[in-house]
Amino acid sequence: MDTYRRQYIKGAILIEGDKILEVDSSEALVAKAGPKCERVDLRGKWILPGLVNSHVHLSQQLGRGLGDDVSLLTWLHERIWPYESSMTEEDSYISSLLCGIEQIRSGVTTFAEPGGQFVDGMGRAVSELGIRGILARSTMDMGEGLPEKWREGTDEALEIQVANLERWNGRANGRIRVWFGLRTIFNNSDALIVRSKELADKYGVGVHMHVAEIKDEVEFSRATRGDTTVKHLESLGVLAENFLAVHTVWLTDEEIGIFAARGVKVSHNPAAAMRVLGFAKIPEMLDAGICVSLGTDGAPSNNRMTLVDEMWLATLIHKGRTLDPTVVPAEAVLSMVTREGARALQWNDQIGSLEAGKKADLVVVDPDTAAMLPMHDPVANMATSMRTENIQSVMCDGRWVYRDGKVQTVDEAAVIEEAKARACAIAERAGIRLPPRFNVQDSGGSARKS
């Protein structure tokens, strides 16, 4: 994924500490590496840069299954807001660890989190997981139906974010960064939007916002602000290179032009967008030269927090929408989760490709499974037939965080046990009761409870 799109058939990567020193033929580098250099033989495997998930809600991981087959308003007001507002910082920490494990197992070494309530809990989790994360606090200073404990003024919302940034930005050997989070135009005043962008510029970070996700949102913006979400954001002067717009499903051609002119970055979340009934105009955005990355969104919006599955969807759905089998080819999708993902997160000076001077973030793919072989067209296979189980090992910052199918940094079994207990407890506290789908026969055993 370097500038020249070089693909080595018998390649090697020379790593020192957290950095890639050189990428070349195996023959050349074996001769160059000194006798003390540890050699890892990966014959028959494929090495990719660490994948970048540009939109994933760490704190929603324990809410998986709370939002299936319901309208967006039910999803938000009766399920997700009660759930998220009933979480403690410790819940957020365990949710982040569980989500992080799913990220690692699917080859993700860097992600951007649009905003949970507890940046401290998420920060602790990212430190321990050993991967990179851009964190934000979910910020809402207005809107209907908000839980009481979330009501706060614009000043307060900004002060908390600045304090989070000063506490966490650059921590964990630079693996943690902090951005400004804006939830949606439903819940953000113009003052909050403008001042978040000003502060992001001041601190040299970015702004992460859900934009034009559903049709109702664009209509709400028109009714309350006098124009569509994108055109309103444009009139506020906040659309710029450090603005990451997520979903961007309901964009007009004119608005795609605005994004291209301003250098706005897009996070495309195919599964989550389909859940709320939309298809982002990704072929048109790519044609316009917009930087498009890929994200999973949160567990209650998609259910599979794996970029491997999003890649497969991204190669398919636009062909169906446009009736053109040549749009959004596999190599473009592979770029979205590597080079373009790194650009979207303003981190492309250090990650997103395997080349000298960049951080040693990589994924080892073992293609030898019935589901992935044969490798007639390996680049297409990575995007269309690779499964999570083909990811054999993952390195981040020069350290193996996943090796030969085992997470190296945290105790996966312990996290799973703790997560199960906490997920039930949060739903209980939030008073969320899902209607039964089938005729449940309760034998009175404890097995039914969860």
The CB-side HSE value for 28 (13 A sphere, CA atoms) comes to 10
Rule CB under 5 A: say whether 309 interacts with Zn ion.
no
Rule CB under 5 A: say whether 310 interacts with Zn ion.
no
* Shortest Å distance, C-beta 297 to Zn ion: 5
For Zn ion, the closer CB: 105 or 208: 208
Segment interacting with Zn ion, rule: CB under 5 A, options 224-232, 293-301, 319-327, 352-360: 293-301
Segment interacting with Zn ion, rule: CB under 5 A, options 104-112, 164-172, 253-261, 289-297: 289-297
CA distances from 263 to 211, 242, 333, 339 (A): 15, 8, 19, 16
* Shortest Å distance, C-beta 245 to Zn ion: 11
The CB-side HSE value for 238 (13 A sphere, CA atoms) comes to 28
* Shortest Å distance, C-beta 317 to Zn ion: 18
Whose structure tokens read 């090992």?
Answer: 393
For Zn ion, the closer CB: 309 or 361: 309
For Zn ion, the closer CB: 46 or 179: 179
Segment interacting with Zn ion, rule: CB under 5 A, options 73-81, 219-227, 278-286, 294-302: 294-302
Give CA–CA dist 225/122, Å, rounded.
34
* Shortest Å distance, C-beta 80 to Zn ion: 10
* Shortest Å distance, C-beta 218 to Zn ion: 17
Please give the residues from 362 up to 391 whose contact with Zn ion meets the rule CB under 5 A: none
For Zn ion, the closer CB: 11 or 181: 181
| Structure-token pair, residue 75 | 């999803």
For Zn ion, the closer CB: 57 or 343: 57
* Shortest Å distance, C-beta 87 to Zn ion: 16
Rule CB under 5 A: say whether 213 interacts with Zn ion.
no
For Zn ion, the closer CB: 186 or 400: 186
Strand order through the sheet with 132-135: 51-53, 108-112, 132-135, 176-178
For Zn ion, the closer CB: 269 or 409: 269
Segment interacting with Zn ion, rule: CB under 5 A, options 85-93, 273-281, 292-300, 393-401: 292-300
Give CA–CA dist 184/208, Å, rounded.
10
Give CA–CA dist 228/241, Å, rounded.
20
* Shortest Å distance, C-beta 247 to Zn ion: 7
Give CA–CA dist 311/292, Å, rounded.
13
Burial (CB count <10 Å: 0-12, 13-18, 19+), residue 173: middle
For Zn ion, the closer CB: 271 or 396: 271
* Shortest Å distance, C-beta 295 to Zn ion: 8
Residue closest to 183 by CA, chosen among 164, 162, 157: 157
For Zn ion, the closer CB: 255 or 297: 297
The three-state DSSP-derived secondary structure of 95-145 is HHHHHHHHHHHCCEEEEECCCECCHHHHHHHHHHHCCEEEECECCCCCCCC
Site size toward Zn ion (CB under 5 A) is 1
For Zn ion, the closer CB: 126 or 394: 126
For residue 251, give every residue at least 6 positions away whose Cβ sits within 8 Å of its Cβ, in sequence order, or none.
Answer: 212, 230, 259, 280, 281, 285
Task: Assign 46 to helix, strand or coil.
Answer: strand
Segment interacting with Zn ion, rule: CB under 5 A, options 36-44, 280-288, 296-304, 410-418: 296-304
Task: Assign 370 to helix, strand or coil.
Answer: coil
The one-character DSSP state at 435 is P
Q: Which residue's Cβ has the minimum distance to Zn ion?
A: 297
Rule CB under 5 A: say whether 297 interacts with Zn ion.
yes
* Shortest Å distance, C-beta 83 to Zn ion: 14
Segment interacting with Zn ion, rule: CB under 5 A, options 62-70, 76-84, 175-183, 291-299: 291-299
Burial (CB count <10 Å: 0-12, 13-18, 19+), residue 41: exposed
User: Residue 246: left (phi > 0), alpha (psi -120 to 50), or beta?
Assistant: beta
For residue 62, give every residue at least 6 positions away whose Cβ sits within 8 Å of its Cβ, in sequence order, or none.
Answer: 87, 91, 94, 95, 98, 299, 419, 422, 423, 426
* Shortest Å distance, C-beta 73 to Zn ion: 16
Segment interacting with Zn ion, rule: CB under 5 A, options 138-146, 230-238, 297-305, 340-348: 297-305
For Zn ion, the closer CB: 345 or 354: 345
Segment interacting with Zn ion, rule: CB under 5 A, options 20-28, 295-303, 342-350, 406-414: 295-303
* Shortest Å distance, C-beta 269 to Zn ion: 7
Burial (CB count <10 Å: 0-12, 13-18, 19+), residue 71: exposed
| Structure-token pair, residue 224 | 């309350």
Q: Which residues bind Zn ion (CB under 5 A)?
A: 297
